[in-house]
Amino acid sequence: MFFKHWPVLLVDDEPDVLTISRLAMKHFDVYGLPLKIYTAASKAEAIDLMNDNVEVGCSLAVAFLDVVMETDTAGLELCDYIRNDMGNKLTQIFIRTGQPGLAPEREVIDKYDINGYFSKVEATEDKLYSLVKSSVRQYLSYGMALATIDLSNNLMAAGASRRKILYALSPVGIISPEQADTPRWLIVDDQVLFSDEVDADEAVRLLEQFRNQDGIPLDPAGDRYVRNEDGYQLIQVARTPARSEAMFLFKSPFSPPDIVINLMHSFVKQLGIAWHHSKEED
Protein backbone atom coordinates (compact mmCIF):
# COMPACT_ATOMS: atom_id res chain seq x y z
CA MET A 1 0.00 0.00 0.00
CA PHE A 2 2.97 2.29 0.34
CA PHE A 3 4.60 1.83 -3.04
CA LYS A 4 5.51 4.94 -4.99
CA HIS A 5 6.00 2.99 -8.19
CA TRP A 6 6.04 -0.63 -9.29
CA PRO A 7 9.53 -2.03 -9.75
CA VAL A 8 9.84 -4.10 -12.93
CA LEU A 9 12.95 -5.96 -14.09
CA LEU A 10 13.74 -6.68 -17.73
CA VAL A 11 16.57 -9.10 -18.41
CA ASP A 12 17.67 -9.63 -21.99
CA ASP A 13 21.02 -9.78 -23.75
CA GLU A 14 19.68 -7.93 -26.79
CA PRO A 15 20.02 -4.19 -26.11
CA ASP A 16 17.31 -3.43 -28.68
CA VAL A 17 14.79 -5.60 -26.86
CA LEU A 18 15.54 -3.78 -23.62
CA THR A 19 15.26 -0.37 -25.25
CA ILE A 20 12.01 -1.16 -27.06
CA SER A 21 10.44 -2.76 -24.00
CA ARG A 22 11.46 0.16 -21.84
CA LEU A 23 9.95 2.59 -24.35
CA ALA A 24 6.75 0.58 -24.60
CA MET A 25 6.34 0.44 -20.83
CA LYS A 26 7.35 4.02 -20.18
CA HIS A 27 3.81 5.30 -19.83
CA PHE A 28 2.14 2.26 -18.29
CA ASP A 29 0.60 2.83 -14.92
CA VAL A 30 -1.16 0.54 -12.49
CA TYR A 31 -3.45 1.97 -9.83
CA GLY A 32 -2.19 5.38 -10.92
CA LEU A 33 1.44 4.59 -10.15
CA PRO A 34 4.18 4.45 -12.80
CA LEU A 35 6.54 1.56 -13.34
CA LYS A 36 10.17 1.82 -12.35
CA ILE A 37 12.06 -0.20 -14.90
CA TYR A 38 15.36 -1.88 -14.14
CA THR A 39 17.30 -3.67 -16.84
CA ALA A 40 20.08 -6.24 -16.92
CA ALA A 41 21.83 -7.77 -19.92
CA SER A 42 22.59 -11.17 -18.41
CA LYS A 43 21.79 -13.50 -15.56
CA ALA A 44 24.96 -12.45 -13.74
CA GLU A 45 24.16 -8.77 -14.13
CA ALA A 46 20.62 -9.37 -12.86
CA ILE A 47 21.93 -11.21 -9.78
CA ASP A 48 24.39 -8.41 -9.07
CA LEU A 49 21.56 -5.91 -9.38
CA MET A 50 19.38 -7.90 -7.00
CA ASN A 51 22.15 -8.07 -4.41
CA ASP A 52 23.00 -4.43 -4.87
CA ASN A 53 19.60 -2.79 -4.94
CA VAL A 54 17.14 -3.37 -2.16
CA GLU A 55 14.17 -2.56 -4.36
CA VAL A 56 15.07 -5.13 -7.01
CA GLY A 57 16.13 -7.58 -4.31
CA CYS A 58 13.11 -7.16 -2.06
CA SER A 59 10.18 -5.44 -3.75
CA LEU A 60 10.23 -6.50 -7.37
CA ALA A 61 6.67 -6.69 -8.70
CA VAL A 62 7.30 -8.17 -12.14
CA ALA A 63 10.26 -9.68 -14.01
CA PHE A 64 10.54 -10.45 -17.71
CA LEU A 65 13.39 -12.88 -18.31
CA ASP A 66 14.94 -13.86 -21.62
CA VAL A 67 15.98 -17.53 -21.68
CA VAL A 68 19.09 -17.70 -23.84
CA MET A 69 21.71 -15.25 -22.61
CA GLU A 70 25.21 -16.20 -21.41
CA THR A 71 24.05 -19.83 -21.63
CA ASP A 72 21.09 -21.55 -23.29
CA THR A 73 19.27 -21.71 -19.98
CA ALA A 74 20.53 -18.58 -18.18
CA GLY A 75 17.04 -17.07 -17.87
CA LEU A 76 15.61 -20.26 -16.39
CA GLU A 77 18.49 -20.44 -13.94
CA LEU A 78 17.79 -16.83 -13.02
CA CYS A 79 14.17 -17.75 -12.36
CA ASP A 80 15.38 -20.54 -10.11
CA TYR A 81 17.73 -18.11 -8.33
CA ILE A 82 14.89 -15.64 -7.68
CA ARG A 83 12.52 -18.32 -6.41
CA ASN A 84 14.94 -20.47 -4.42
CA ASP A 85 18.15 -18.60 -3.64
CA MET A 86 16.33 -15.34 -2.93
CA GLY A 87 13.32 -17.12 -1.48
CA ASN A 88 11.12 -14.79 -3.51
CA LYS A 89 7.78 -16.41 -4.33
CA LEU A 90 5.99 -13.13 -4.81
CA THR A 91 7.46 -11.49 -7.90
CA GLN A 92 5.48 -12.30 -11.02
CA ILE A 93 7.98 -13.88 -13.39
CA PHE A 94 7.46 -14.11 -17.15
CA ILE A 95 9.73 -16.02 -19.47
CA ARG A 96 10.16 -14.28 -22.79
CA THR A 97 12.15 -16.19 -25.36
CA GLY A 98 13.33 -15.65 -28.89
CA GLN A 99 14.10 -19.35 -29.34
CA PRO A 100 11.11 -21.33 -28.09
CA GLY A 101 12.74 -24.48 -29.42
CA LEU A 102 15.43 -24.29 -26.77
CA ALA A 103 12.95 -23.86 -23.95
CA PRO A 104 9.56 -25.37 -24.88
CA GLU A 105 6.63 -23.74 -23.09
CA ARG A 106 5.20 -26.84 -21.41
CA GLU A 107 8.57 -28.01 -20.20
CA VAL A 108 9.37 -24.62 -18.74
CA ILE A 109 5.98 -24.18 -17.10
CA ASP A 110 6.21 -27.68 -15.61
CA LYS A 111 9.71 -27.25 -14.26
CA TYR A 112 9.94 -23.63 -13.16
CA ASP A 113 7.77 -21.59 -10.86
CA ILE A 114 6.83 -18.92 -13.41
CA ASN A 115 3.69 -16.93 -13.99
CA GLY A 116 3.72 -16.90 -17.78
CA TYR A 117 5.59 -17.71 -20.95
CA PHE A 118 5.58 -16.01 -24.32
CA SER A 119 7.78 -15.70 -27.36
CA LYS A 120 9.35 -12.43 -28.38
CA VAL A 121 7.17 -12.41 -31.51
CA GLU A 122 4.11 -12.25 -29.27
CA ALA A 123 5.51 -9.40 -27.21
CA THR A 124 3.42 -6.55 -28.58
CA GLU A 125 2.87 -3.39 -26.55
CA ASP A 126 -0.70 -4.46 -25.82
CA LYS A 127 0.47 -7.85 -24.63
CA LEU A 128 3.03 -6.23 -22.31
CA TYR A 129 0.38 -3.81 -21.07
CA SER A 130 -2.07 -6.53 -20.14
CA LEU A 131 0.63 -8.67 -18.55
CA VAL A 132 2.05 -5.81 -16.49
CA LYS A 133 -1.33 -4.64 -15.33
CA SER A 134 -2.66 -8.03 -14.35
CA SER A 135 0.58 -9.15 -12.73
CA VAL A 136 0.97 -6.02 -10.59
CA ARG A 137 -2.60 -6.54 -9.37
CA GLN A 138 -1.73 -10.13 -8.58
CA TYR A 139 1.50 -9.08 -6.86
CA LEU A 140 -0.26 -6.50 -4.70
CA SER A 141 -3.09 -8.82 -3.67
CA TYR A 142 -0.83 -11.74 -2.95
CA GLY A 143 1.70 -9.56 -1.10
CA MET A 144 -1.01 -7.93 1.01
CA ALA A 145 -2.49 -11.33 1.81
CA LEU A 146 0.88 -12.67 2.99
CA ALA A 147 1.59 -9.52 4.98
CA THR A 148 -1.86 -9.73 6.59
CA ILE A 149 -1.29 -13.35 7.59
CA ASP A 150 2.08 -12.37 9.01
CA LEU A 151 0.56 -9.56 11.07
CA SER A 152 -2.26 -11.82 12.23
CA ASN A 153 0.24 -14.43 13.36
CA ASN A 154 2.18 -11.81 15.29
CA LEU A 155 -1.00 -10.48 16.91
CA MET A 156 -2.03 -13.97 17.85
CA ALA A 157 1.41 -14.72 19.30
CA ALA A 158 1.19 -11.53 21.37
CA GLY A 159 -1.65 -13.10 23.35
CA ALA A 160 -3.08 -10.86 26.01
CA SER A 161 0.03 -8.73 26.44
CA ARG A 162 -0.57 -5.18 25.32
CA ARG A 163 3.16 -4.55 25.17
CA LYS A 164 3.59 -7.47 22.83
CA ILE A 165 0.70 -6.30 20.69
CA LEU A 166 2.37 -2.92 20.36
CA TYR A 167 5.62 -4.56 19.36
CA ALA A 168 3.82 -6.58 16.69
CA LEU A 169 2.17 -3.42 15.41
CA SER A 170 5.26 -1.23 15.32
CA PRO A 171 6.00 -1.84 11.61
CA VAL A 172 2.50 -0.59 10.80
CA GLY A 173 2.08 2.17 13.34
CA ILE A 174 5.42 3.91 13.03
CA ILE A 175 6.70 5.38 9.81
CA SER A 176 10.10 4.48 8.48
CA PRO A 177 12.32 7.30 7.19
CA GLU A 178 11.78 6.70 3.51
CA GLN A 179 8.02 6.60 3.97
CA ALA A 180 7.56 9.96 5.65
CA ASP A 181 5.31 11.17 2.84
CA THR A 182 2.89 8.27 3.31
CA PRO A 183 2.08 8.63 7.02
CA ARG A 184 -0.14 6.16 8.85
CA TRP A 185 -1.68 5.80 12.26
CA LEU A 186 -3.34 3.11 14.30
CA ILE A 187 -6.05 4.30 16.66
CA VAL A 188 -7.65 2.03 19.23
CA ASP A 189 -10.41 3.20 21.58
CA ASP A 190 -9.67 6.85 20.68
CA GLN A 191 -6.00 6.41 21.54
CA VAL A 192 -3.39 7.04 18.84
CA LEU A 193 -0.83 4.26 19.23
CA PHE A 194 2.84 5.20 19.31
CA SER A 195 1.72 8.77 19.91
CA ASP A 196 5.18 9.92 20.98
CA GLU A 197 6.65 8.76 17.71
CA VAL A 198 4.03 9.91 15.22
CA ASP A 199 2.16 13.15 14.67
CA ALA A 200 -0.87 12.25 16.79
CA ASP A 201 -2.46 15.72 16.46
CA GLU A 202 -2.61 15.27 12.71
CA ALA A 203 -4.41 11.95 13.20
CA VAL A 204 -6.98 13.58 15.49
CA ARG A 205 -7.53 16.39 12.94
CA LEU A 206 -8.03 13.92 10.09
CA LEU A 207 -10.39 11.75 12.12
CA GLU A 208 -12.49 14.80 12.82
CA GLN A 209 -12.73 15.41 9.08
CA PHE A 210 -13.64 11.79 8.40
CA ARG A 211 -16.28 11.71 11.12
CA ASN A 212 -19.04 13.17 8.97
CA GLN A 213 -17.84 11.87 5.65
CA ASP A 214 -19.72 9.07 3.94
CA GLY A 215 -17.83 5.86 3.55
CA ILE A 216 -18.26 2.40 2.11
CA PRO A 217 -19.85 0.02 4.64
CA LEU A 218 -17.70 -3.04 5.24
CA ASP A 219 -20.03 -5.03 7.47
CA PRO A 220 -23.32 -4.69 9.38
CA ALA A 221 -21.55 -3.85 12.64
CA GLY A 222 -20.81 -0.39 11.27
CA ASP A 223 -17.29 -0.94 9.95
CA ARG A 224 -16.46 1.33 7.02
CA TYR A 225 -13.84 2.49 4.56
CA VAL A 226 -13.48 6.21 3.83
CA ARG A 227 -11.14 8.04 1.50
CA ASN A 228 -10.70 11.79 1.04
CA GLU A 229 -9.45 13.62 -2.00
CA ASP A 230 -5.94 14.11 -0.54
CA GLY A 231 -5.32 10.37 -0.53
CA TYR A 232 -5.97 9.87 3.19
CA GLN A 233 -7.90 6.68 3.86
CA LEU A 234 -9.53 5.16 6.88
CA ILE A 235 -10.50 1.61 7.74
CA GLN A 236 -12.76 1.87 10.76
CA VAL A 237 -13.84 -1.07 12.86
CA ALA A 238 -16.73 -0.24 15.19
CA ARG A 239 -16.81 -1.08 18.88
CA THR A 240 -18.91 -4.11 19.88
CA PRO A 241 -19.13 -6.03 23.15
CA ALA A 242 -16.44 -8.37 21.83
CA ARG A 243 -13.96 -5.91 20.43
CA SER A 244 -12.52 -2.42 20.80
CA GLU A 245 -12.98 0.30 18.24
CA ALA A 246 -9.92 0.17 15.95
CA MET A 247 -8.88 2.34 13.04
CA PHE A 248 -6.15 2.27 10.45
CA LEU A 249 -5.65 5.77 9.04
CA PHE A 250 -3.13 6.18 6.27
CA LYS A 251 -2.13 8.09 3.20
CA SER A 252 -1.49 6.06 0.10
CA PRO A 253 -0.79 7.27 -3.42
CA PHE A 254 -3.50 5.06 -4.84
CA SER A 255 -6.98 3.68 -4.15
CA PRO A 256 -6.69 0.02 -3.26
CA PRO A 257 -8.87 -2.59 -4.94
CA ASP A 258 -11.64 -4.25 -2.93
CA ILE A 259 -9.59 -7.31 -2.10
CA VAL A 260 -6.89 -5.17 -0.48
CA ILE A 261 -9.48 -3.17 1.48
CA ASN A 262 -10.96 -6.44 2.70
CA LEU A 263 -7.55 -7.70 3.79
CA MET A 264 -6.80 -4.49 5.68
CA HIS A 265 -10.26 -4.66 7.22
CA SER A 266 -9.60 -8.15 8.51
CA PHE A 267 -6.31 -6.99 10.07
CA VAL A 268 -7.99 -4.02 11.80
CA LYS A 269 -10.82 -6.27 13.04
CA GLN A 270 -8.27 -8.62 14.52
CA LEU A 271 -6.52 -5.69 16.19
CA GLY A 272 -9.83 -4.59 17.74
CA ILE A 273 -10.42 -8.07 19.12
CA ALA A 274 -6.83 -8.56 20.35
CA TRP A 275 -6.83 -5.16 22.05
CA HIS A 276 -10.15 -5.84 23.73
CA HIS A 277 -8.80 -9.03 25.25
CA SER A 278 -5.42 -7.66 26.26
CA LYS A 279 -4.26 -6.06 29.45
CA GLU A 280 -2.17 -2.96 30.10
CA GLU A 281 0.38 -4.73 32.29
CA ASP A 282 1.26 -8.39 32.16
Residues contributing to the site for other proteins (CB under 8 A): 1-3, 51-55, 57-59, 84-88, 143-144, 146-148, 151, 161, 163-164, 166-167, 170-180, 184, 197, 267, 282
Q: Which of 130, 153 has the CB closer to other proteins?
A: 153
Choice between 18 and 165, CB closer to other proteins: 165
Cβ proximity to other proteins: between 75 and 143 the closer is 143
Q: Which residue, 14 or 29, has its beta carbon nearer to other proteins?
A: 29
Spell out the long-range contacts of 85-91 with Cβ–Cβ below 8 A and sequence spacing 24 or more: 86/50, 86/57, 88/60, 89/113, 90/139, 90/142, 90/143, 90/146, 91/60, 91/61, 91/62, 91/63, 91/139
SS3 37: strand
SS3 labels along 133-174: HHHHHHHHHHHHHHHHHHHHHHHHHHCCEHHHHHHHHHHHHC
Residue 35 Cβ, how far from other proteins at the closest point, in Å? 15
Q: How far apart are CA 230 and CA 253, in angstroms?
A: 9
Instruction: Compute the least distance from the CB of residue 157 to other proteins, in Å.
Output: 9
Neighbour-count burial for 143-172, b at 16+ CB within 10 Å, e otherwise: bbeebbeebbebbeebeebbebbbebbeeb
Of residues 53 and 138, the one with the C-beta less far from other proteins: 53
Separation of alpha carbons 144 and 130, rounded Å? 21
What's the closest the beta carbon of residue 282 comes to other proteins, in angstroms? 6
CB of 141 to other proteins, least distance (A): 10
- Closest CB to other proteins among residues 59, 262: 59
CB of 234 to other proteins, least distance (A): 15
Q: Which DSSP symbol is given to 69?
A: S
* Shortest CB 86 distance to other proteins, Å: 6
